[in-house]
Structure 1
């Protein structure tokens, strides 16, 4: 049985709500800093969202994320549920089947393959920027950060670009609709559309990832249609939401740190070094694992079925691992620069991280070529959200050419 709040020592209790805390709707990074980074405890328990533990220490988070036998990855989420979607492959696969699926997808997202996509990504970025920057005031999230990575994802999967607005609505509803019933409905719409798209790919094969998944053999067997649908579902959620969230947090930070933005403008090599530090500082995924057996973890009793959340923004601000963690420092050691949790950790570390980093670098580089300076036009209009993937819902900026 999972932990009952009555059994949690008082010194390990917290009232923090990762999803519905009012300040998460305004400034999630500041709220996470105040409530979690500045909490001296490494582990504590909150009754919200089904009840879950929060681990804020980097090394403890690494230990949990690197042990899939004791800390499983199904179901993913805060709260942890799977009612509104299929089991996500390979993210929620068990330790025995996970390597099989990961070997299948690694060639698609390998660094040498992703590097060949640079020209296409840059062309798409230029087209989106040239259209967006017709106005002196824009919404960075909706005019730039959403369309670019989503367009790349749709091309990879062989889905129509004109569906972007519909996909944005479904993705937002899936994560943030007010009721469970509404979230389930949005999840079913995504699943139904992707299943129909796969069926069309069976009839009309093309040179894209969805056709590859339908045709490839893994250990002498083809993937079932359910497996293909589950993989495409995970790619959908990642392709429509994650890079856009990261880009918007970074743009918000640079808008308030224009000296740093000028360095990025002036030196392409500086941007190369700066990218991982920007990723570390603006990690946004609240990673979670499910305890597979009663165990004592660093003096705390976890029960089988407990949801354990490792907030990447918080572990990446752990001063015992990253000295002076709140300050931007691109001169950190190579190991320190790349050990952040922005893409997770352990065997389930994000398989699309090389694509995400390339997209972020290209967008920042091309944006800097066109924009001399920019600032937030009205901070009072900014809205945000918490949850499994925290993010900004808009970012109104003004800019000068």
Structure 2
């Protein structure tokens, strides 16, 4: 897929051979308006395993699972210190704890792990269930809905804002900011979203540091490192990153699930018939997650070295897309096909290693509750006639609009 590059884009560094240059822009992938993961896969099967693109500041892209899994775990060579592309301005605060490498990373991460471990998440289940049922019952008699706004952004956001004890009515202000953060086309847009989120959080962070409560926000803004509480600026950065994650990612996965089931009647009915089969439902959820990976986080090469014949230089930026692990045919045969009988389907939708998503357990629980409560009430649904899902790629891929209809 090597193509001529426009002269206005990043210049090819001397250590990058011309044969490894591919015109790849993960904000504008050909075919992504039809299927985002299929659009990514075209580069996986048609180009080099690792290539360099002049887009978005110039960076490497790894396309195969074995390399991506190495890059997710090996912080000695592939640092997390800058995770966005194009690079954020130098004045931008680092995104804590994601842009901190081990071992320091573990100190910041601990309160999130404690708050989101399976036993703690189990206590949230009734609340998740109640929010889901209320939303579905409200939509059911209408016979149609715009799923993203009317459900996908309702369930996880209600649950998350309760966890951090922030006003539910603030969601309409926060959601556009989160959208700009994860899918903003340029560094300026994403930086402005960070500033806006930081400004919003000032009041709440001050309050929780002066009068701690028992909520998740209190825990993360009062983290102690070596016996000393993190600074106010670090607390703002940490809280902002947690809010960005909590407000967007599960909503995106819910939408991918709904889109797939609306267009695959046989598989939707398989799940409907086995909603009480925990083992089957767990396998179906993992298979749908595998097929619909979303997140991207960039890396920075820490020093000069050669990897599988590719010469990396200190400061090179690299994108190892999580979703390409799940759809790599070297790992999962016929990877674009969803098969609930698949054995050992491997994916990296929640990352791997020290930076694996601490909210994975909560996300899986919300997805399970969605399937059980939605399909028990609306077992037959489809894409509304005359409409088409609106999708977007970026640091987090997602569906912006999904109109569904049912009898």
Would you call these one fold, judging by a TM-score over 0.5?
Answer: yes
1:386: how far off? Answer: 1.2
Please say if 1:359 is aligned against 2:344: no
1:50 deviation in Å?
Answer: 0.7
Measure the CA separation in 1 of the matches of 2:386 and 2:56: 29
Unaligned runs of 5+ in 2: 1-9
Q: From the superposition, tell whether residues 259 and 143 of structure 1 become closer, same or farther in structure 2 (CA, over 3 Å).
A: same
Of residues 13, 17, 30 in structure 1, which corresponds to 2:25?
17
Give runs of aligned pairs for residues 177-256 of structure 1, distance below 5 A.
177=184, 180-215=187-222, 217-256=224-263
Write the distance in 1 (CA, Å) between the matches of 2:273 and 2:91. 46
Q: 2:356 matched to which residue of 1?
A: 349
Secondary structure in 2 matching 1:245: helix
Given that residues 85 and 191 in structure 1 are in contact (C-alpha distance below 8 angstroms), is that contact kept between their aligned partners in structure 2? no
Q: Does 1:297 align with 2:304?
A: no
- Counterpart of 1:396? 403
**Counterpart check, 1:169 vs 2:176:** yes
CA change 1:61–1:108 in 2 (3 A) is same
Deviations 1:203-223 (A, max 9, x none): 554321112234454543323
Shift of 1:22: 5.5
Query: Is residue 100 of structure 1 aligned with residue 107 of structure 2?
Result: yes
Matches within 5 A, 1:21-170: 21=29, 23-34=31-42, 36-39=43-46, 41-81=48-88, 86-170=93-177
Residue among 323, 331, 339 paired with 2:333: 323
1:69-114: CA deviation from partner (whole Å, max 9, x where unpaired): 1100011112232568531222111223112122232211111111
Shift of 1:307: 1.4
- The alpha carbon displacement at 1:254 in A equals 1.0
* Distance in 2 of aligned mates of 1:83 and 1:161: 33
The CA distance in 1 between the partners of 2:95 and 2:243, in whole Å, is 11
Match of 1:280 in 2: 290
Q: CA deviation at 1:232?
A: 1.1
Aligned equivalents of 1:82, 1:329: Cα separation in 2: 43
Show structure 1 runs of 5+ residues with no match: none
Size of the alignment, in residue pairs? 395
The SS at the match of 2:76 is coil
Distance 2:91 2:32 in 1: 24
Task: Please give the alpha-carbon distance, in whole angstroms, between the structure 2 residues aligned to 1:287 and 1:87.
Answer: 14
The alignment partner of 2:56 has SS state of: coil
User: CA offsets per residue over residues 212-266 of structure 1, 9 Å max, x none?
Assistant: 2344545433232223222211111111110111111111111111111111111
What is the CA distance between 1:389 and its match in structure 2?
0.7
Structure 1 counterpart SS, 2:299: strand
Following superposition of structure 1 onto structure 2, how do residues 251-262 of structure 1 map, counting pairs within 5 Å? 251-262=258-269
Q: What TM-score do you get using the length of structure 1 for normalisation?
A: 0.92
TM-score, normalised relative to structure 2: 0.91
CA RMSD of aligned residues (A): 2.2
- Counterparts of 2:181 and 2:134 in 1: how far apart (Å)? 29
Give the one of 374, 383, 389 matched to 1:382.
389
In structure 2, what is the Cα distance between the partners aligned to 1:130 and 1:288? 41
Deviation at 1:178, TM superposition (A): 6.1
Distance in 2 (CA, whole Å) between partners of 1:84 and 1:378 is: 48
Per-residue deviation at 1:6? 5.2
Deviations 1:295-314 (A, max 9, x none): 11111111111111112222
**2: CA distance between counterparts of 1:102 and 1:176?**
24
